[in-house]
């Protein structure tokens, strides 16, 4: 069984249908970049996968958990599927260490010491060991985003979802975050990431999905999709973002 | 019989100020608890509950506290429920305070971005954990100043209970002023006592805010 299985999902906001029958399978260890125009439904797709949005039709299975079931245990699901947002969303009242340990203590039931150890490990992995006791507003955007990645990583999810996590950053801070992502990718994490960084998609992703008007318009190996688009829509999208 | 305004009168005023403080504390506790309920009713995703809370808030905020005091003190006995001045004052001040606390705290809760709820959710926290560990601590920081601001108003408003026969600070001032014919000095002392109570409260609030800010 695939780690993620979407079958014909449909999602509307009021009268507007945003996802118009999306089917998709993601295998364990795969790194999938999702690209497409603004409003094509990329964020909505990720948010449906971890249950932040409810679909009107179709089925979503993640790590064996049926997200679309009426009584789905969404908290158990989210423990398995971490998500990092464009706007970091660190908890501003907690320092870096406690941002990471909060869910470890509450959800994973680790004691203080064990949680603290995990926090030090992941924060070191994203290169911020010396910022363990800093508060979010004392960090740059890039550092905050790295902490957000560490916080999600600490939960040891089976799948990580990233929604345009470099889009809010100053250009000179994008690189440090992408390098962290690359590191996570190398360790075999299954990742789905919405991104506008085409070079990153080409070099790090195994697979690229092009969303267009609420549907998956193209889906295939990263280099192939990005170098030889089959449809006019992808062609014009790529020339728009690359130039 | 006219006498001098003396030290004993100041003591009398200070003793009466105990009632002012007691009334305020009563309203803070009763109004605080009820206010939590109102704030909760106001934000739960259930329309009738929201409407009920809005009705309550508009009704209480839109009528004078004095009228509410009279309803409890003079109205309840008419339907056979005997209340003393203390009970009537405690009940109406609590009900009054709850309407304001409810709105202040709802605003504070809603000032915390929906993204904070989502960040908590995406880590697997339950609704209650998101509320208590993520949203409330942030809302608290926002709520301290307006909460204390309202409390200061409330302390001054406790003087209205004089009109149902309660001898608190203002009423005690009236009595002594009547006995000594030294209204200026008497009310000056009364004003100073109010000021000291309210000022120490807002100092405490400032310290609390600073502490919450340091602890983020
Ligand atoms: N909560 C919502 N309520 C109403 N409409 C929404 C909501 N969220 C998204 N939409 C609409 O759904 C459509 C798809 O939005 P979505 O955020 O998934 O697009 P996107 O591909 O992520 O775009 P972008 O690149 O700009 O982030 C848009 O038209 C958007 O306006
Ligand atoms: Mg988006």
Domains of chain A by residue range: 4-241
H or E segment and range at residue A193: strand A190-194
Atom of ligand 1 nearest to the CA of A45: 18
Q: How far is CA A139 from the centre of its chain?
A: 22
Report yes or no: A32 and A206 within 8 Å, Cβ to Cβ.
Answer: yes
Interface residue B47 vs chain A (CB under 8 A): no
Asked whether the predicted pLDDT for residue B150 surpasses 60, the reply is yes
Q: How is residue A183 written in tokens?
A: 């590191």
How high is the pLDDT of residue B216? 54
φ, ψ of residue B120 in degrees (nearest 5): -65, -45
Report yes or no: A18 and A41 within 8 Å, Cβ to Cβ.
Answer: yes
Return the CATH superfamily for domain A4-241.
P-loop containing nucleotide triphosphate hydrolases (3.40.50.300)
CB atoms within 10 A of CB B111: 13
Q: Is the CB of A75 under 6 A from ligand 1?
A: no
Q: Is the pTM of this model over 0.95?
A: no
Q: How is residue B103 written in tokens?
A: 């709105």
Residue B171, classed as helix, strand or coil, is helix
Q: How is residue A24 written in tokens?
A: 């998709």
| Ligand having the closest approach to the CA of A41 | 1
How high is the pLDDT of residue A186? 92
Asked whether the predicted pLDDT for residue B214 surpasses 70, the reply is no
DSSP-derived letter for residue A165 is T
A213 CA to centre of ligand 2 in angstroms: 13
Interface residue B143 vs chain A (CB under 8 A): no
Q: What is the complex's ipTM, to 2 decimals?
A: 0.92
CB atoms within 10 A of CB B84: 12
Opening angle at CA A227, ends A221 and A230, nearest 5: 80
Q: Which residue in the set A50, A75, A92 is minimally distant from B138, CB to CB?
A: A92
Report yes or no: B161 and B89 within 8 Å, Cβ to Cβ.
Answer: yes
Q: Taking residues B145-170, what's their average pLDDT?
A: 90
Chain A residues within an 8 Å CB radius of B126: 75
For chain B, which residues make up each domain, given as ranges? Answer: 7-215
φ, ψ of residue A2 in degrees (nearest 5): -75, 160
Interface residue A52 vs chain B (CB under 8 A): yes
Report yes or no: B18 and B196 within 8 Å, Cβ to Cβ.
Answer: no
The CA-based dihedral angle spanning residues A49, A55, A58, A60, taken in that order and rounded to the nearest 10 degrees: 20
CB atoms B122 and A107 under 8 Å? no
Strands lying side by side in the sheet with A4-13:
A16-26, A4-13, A57-62, A65-66
Q: Is the CB of A131 under 6 A from ligand 1?
A: no
Return the CATH superfamily for domain B7-215.
MetI-like (1.10.3720.10)
pLDDT along chain A (243 residues), means of 10: 94 96 96 96 96 95 92 90 95 96 96 96 95 95 95 96 93 91 93 93 94 96 93 93 77
Q: Is the CB of A39 under 6 A from ligand 1?
A: yes
- In 3D space, the residue among B8, B3, B16 whose CA is nearest the CA of residue B193 turns out to be B16
């Amino acid at each position: 069984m695939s780690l993620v299985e979407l079958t014909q999902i449909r999602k509307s906001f009021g009268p507007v249908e945003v996802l118009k029958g999306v089917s998709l399978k993601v295998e364990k260890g795969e790194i999938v970049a999702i690209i497409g125009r603004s409003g094509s439904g990329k964020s909505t797709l990720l948010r449906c996968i971890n249950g932040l949005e409810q679909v009107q039709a179709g089925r979503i299975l993640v790590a064996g958990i049926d997200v679309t079931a009426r009584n789905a245990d969404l908290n158990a699901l989210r423990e398995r599927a971490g998500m990092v947002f464009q706007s970091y969303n660190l908890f501003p009242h907690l320092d870096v260490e406690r941002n990471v340990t909060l869910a470890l203590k509450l959800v994973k039931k680790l004691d203080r010491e064990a949680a603290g150890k995990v926090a030090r490990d992941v924060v070191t992995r994203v290169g911020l060991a010396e910022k363990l006791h800093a508060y979010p507003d004392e960090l740059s955007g890039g550092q905050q985003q790295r902490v957000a990645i560490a916080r999600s990583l600490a939960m040891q999810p089976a799948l990580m979802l990233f929604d345009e996590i470099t889009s809010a950053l100053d250009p000179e801070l994008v690189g440090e975050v992408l390098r962290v992502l690359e590191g996570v990718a190398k360790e075999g994490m299954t990742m789905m990431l919405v991104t506008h960084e085409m070079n990153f998609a080409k070099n790090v992703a195994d697979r690229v999905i092009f969303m267009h008007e609420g549907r998956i318009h193209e889906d295939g190996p990263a280099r192939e999709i990005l170098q030889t688009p089959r449809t006019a829509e992808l062609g014009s999208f790529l020339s728009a973002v690359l130039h | 019989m006219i006498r001098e305004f003396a030290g004993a009168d100041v003591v009398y005023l200070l003793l009466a100020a105990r009632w002012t403080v007691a009334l305020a504390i009563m309203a803070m506790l009763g109004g605080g608890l009820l206010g939590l309920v109102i704030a909760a009713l106001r934000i739960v995703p259930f329309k009738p509950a929201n409407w009920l809370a809005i009705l309550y808030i508009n009704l209480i905020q839109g009528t004078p506290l004095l009228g509410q005091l009279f309803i409890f003190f003079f109205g309840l006995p008419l339907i056979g429920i005997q209340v003393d001045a203390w009970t009537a004052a405690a009940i109406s001040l609590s009900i009054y305070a709850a309407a304001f606390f409810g709105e202040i705290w709802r605003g504070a809760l809603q000032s915390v971005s929906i993204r904070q709820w989502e960040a908590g959710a995406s880590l697997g926290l339950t609704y209650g954990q998101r509320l208590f560990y993520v949203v409330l601590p942030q809302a608290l920081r926002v709520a301290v100043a307006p909460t204390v601001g309202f409390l200061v108003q409330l302390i001054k408003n406790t003087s209205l209970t004089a009109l149902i026969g309660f001898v608190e600070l203002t009423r005690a001032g009236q009595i002594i002023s009547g006995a000594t014919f030294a209204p200026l000095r008497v009310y000056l002392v009364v004003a100073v006592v109010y000021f000291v109570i309210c000022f120490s409260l807002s100092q405490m609030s400032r310290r609390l805010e600073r502490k919450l800010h340091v602890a983020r």
